[in-house]
Chain A
Amino acid sequence: MSQEIASSGWGRFRASSADFLHRKGVMGFLFTLPADIILLLLLAYPFVLGIWLSFTNTIIGRSGSFVGLSNYISLFHSNIFWLTAFNTVFYTCVAVFFKLILGFGLAIILNQDFKGKGLIRAIVLLPWIVPTALSAIAFWWIFDSNFSCINWLLLKIGLLKTPIDFLGNTINARLSVVLVNIWRGIPFFTIGLMAGLQTINQSLYEAADIDGATPWVKFKSITLPLIMPLLSVITTFSIIWTFADFQLIWILTRGGPDNATHIFGTLSFQRAIAGGHLGEGAAISAFIFPVLFISVLITSKYLKREN
Chain B
Amino acid sequence: MKQKAWTKFLRFYLPLGLFLLFLLFPFYWMFATTFKSDAELYNLKLNPFLIHHWSLVNLKHLFYQTPFLRWLWNTFFVAITSTLISLSTSLLAAYGIQRIRFKGSSMMGIGIFFCYLVPPTILFIPLATMVFKLHLWDSLWALSLIYPTFLIPFCTWLLMGYFNSIPKELEECAMMDGASRMWIFWRVIIPLSLPGILSAGIFAFTLSWNEYLYALTFISTSLKKTVSVGLVTELVRGDIYHWGPLMAGALFGSVPVALVYSFFVEYYVAGITGALKE
Residues of A in contact with B (beta carbons under 8 Å apart): 1-2, 22, 24-25, 27-36, 38-39, 42-43, 45-47, 49-50, 53, 58, 102, 105-106, 109-110, 112, 114, 118, 120-127, 129-135, 137-139, 141-142, 144, 147, 149, 152-153, 183, 186-188, 191-192, 194-196, 230, 233-234, 237, 240-241, 243-247, 250-251, 264-265, 268-269, 272-273, 278, 281-282, 285-286, 288-289, 292, 295-296, 299-300, 303, 306-307
Q: In the complex, are the beta carbons of B48 and A264 less than 8 A apart? A: no
Chain B hits for A31, CB < 8 A: 92-93, 95-97, 100, 181, 185
- Known contacts: A24-B100, A130-B254, A130-B257. The answer to whether A46 contacts B130 by CB under 8 A is yes
Contact partner, A288, options B27, B119, B241, Cβ 8 Å = B119
CB distance from A184 to the nearest CB of B (A): 10
Q: 13 additional contacts, CB 8 Å, given A138-B26, A192-B272, A285-B124?
A: A25-B103, A28-B102, A46-B130, A131-B253, A133-B229, A135-B250, A137-B249, A141-B246, A142-B29, A241-B119, A273-B128, A282-B126, A289-B122
Q: In the complex, are the beta carbons of B119 and A240 less than 8 A apart? A: yes
Asked whether any CB of chain A lies closer than 8 Å to the CB of B68, the reply is no
CB distance from A8 to the nearest CB of B (A): 12
- Give me 28 A-to-B residue pairs in the complex whose CB atoms sit less than 8 angstroms apart, sorted by A's number: A24-B101, A31-B95, A31-B100, A32-B93, A33-B92, A35-B90, A36-B93, A39-B149, A42-B148, A45-B130, A49-B130, A105-B15, A109-B12, A122-B261, A125-B269, A127-B26, A132-B212, A133-B210, A134-B249, A134-B253, A135-B250, A141-B33, A183-B26, A195-B277, A246-B213, A247-B216, A268-B125, A292-B122
Contact partner, B258, options A34, A35, A126, A132, Cβ 8 Å = A126
- Known contacts: A1-B101, A31-B96, A43-B118. The answer to whether A124 contacts B29 by CB under 8 A is no
Chain B residue nearest to A282 (CB atoms) is B125
Q: In the complex, are the beta carbons of A34 and B20 less than 8 A apart? A: no
Listed residue (A30, A38, A139, A230) with the most chain B CB atoms within 10 angstroms of its CB: A38
Chain A hits for B118, CB < 8 A: 43, 47, 292
Chain A residue nearest to B251 (CB atoms) is A134
Asked whether any CB of chain A lies closer than 8 Å to the CB of B129, the reply is yes
B77-95 with Cβ < 8 A to chain A: 85, 88-90, 92-93, 95
CB distance from A194 to the nearest CB of B (A): 8
Asked whether any CB of chain A lies closer than 8 Å to the CB of B117, the reply is yes
Chain B hits for A230, CB < 8 A: 276-277
Q: In the complex, are the beta carbons of B117 and A192 less than 8 A apart? A: no
Q: In the complex, are the beta carbons of B96 and A28 less than 8 A apart? A: yes
Chain A hits for B156, CB < 8 A: 35
Asked whether any CB of chain A lies closer than 8 Å to the CB of B265, the reply is yes
Q: In the complex, are the beta carbons of A191 and B269 less than 8 A apart? A: yes
Contact partner, B212, options A1, A194, A243, A247, Cβ 8 Å = A247
Q: In the complex, are the beta carbons of A246 and B250 less than 8 A apart? A: no
Asked whether any CB of chain A lies closer than 8 Å to the CB of B200, the reply is no
Q: In the complex, are the beta carbons of B125 and A272 less than 8 A apart? A: yes
B196-225 with Cβ < 8 A to chain A: 206, 209-210, 212-213, 216-217
Q: How far is the CA of A112 from the CA of B156 in the complex (A)?
A: 33
Asked whether any CB of chain A lies closer than 8 Å to the CB of B108, the reply is yes
Q: In the complex, are the beta carbons of B92 and A32 less than 8 A apart? A: yes
Q: How far is the CA of A183 from the CA of B27 in the complex (A)?
A: 12
Chain B hits for A264, CB < 8 A: 121
Residues of B in contact with A (beta carbons under 8 Å apart): 12, 15-16, 19-20, 22-24, 26-27, 29-30, 33, 41-42, 44, 48-49, 85, 88-90, 92-93, 95-97, 100-103, 105-106, 108, 110, 112-115, 117-130, 145-146, 148-149, 152-153, 156, 181, 185, 206, 209-210, 212-213, 216-217, 227-229, 231-232, 241, 243, 246-247, 249-250, 253-254, 257-258, 261-262, 265, 268-269, 272-273, 276-278
- Known contacts: A38-B148, A43-B118, A142-B29. The answer to whether A32 contacts B97 by CB under 8 A is yes
Q: How far is the CA of A83 from the CA of B6 in the complex (A)?
A: 48
Contact partner, B149, options A42, A121, A127, A250, Cβ 8 Å = A42
Chain A hits for B153, CB < 8 A: 39
Chain A hits for B148, CB < 8 A: 38, 42
The 6 lowest CB-CB distance pairs between A and B, nearest first, are A31-B96, A28-B102, A244-B119, A195-B273, A133-B228, A35-B93
Contact partner, B20, options A123, A183, A194, A237, Cβ 8 Å = A123
Q: How far is the CA of A134 from the CA of B227 in the complex (A)?
A: 9
Chain B residue nearest to A132 (CB atoms) is B210
Chain B hits for A147, CB < 8 A: 41-42, 44, 48, 243
Q: In the complex, are the beta carbons of A307 and B106 less than 8 A apart? A: yes
CB distance from A9 to the nearest CB of B (A): 12
Chain A hits for B114, CB < 8 A: 296, 299-300
Q: In the complex, are the beta carbons of B212 and A133 less than 8 A apart? A: yes
Chain A hits for B44, CB < 8 A: 147, 152
Q: How far is the CA of A234 from the CA of B117 in the complex (A)?
A: 12
Chain B hits for A243, CB < 8 A: 119
Chain A hits for B254, CB < 8 A: 130-131, 134-135
- Known contacts: A27-B96, A130-B27, A149-B29. The answer to whether A292 contacts B119 by CB under 8 A is yes
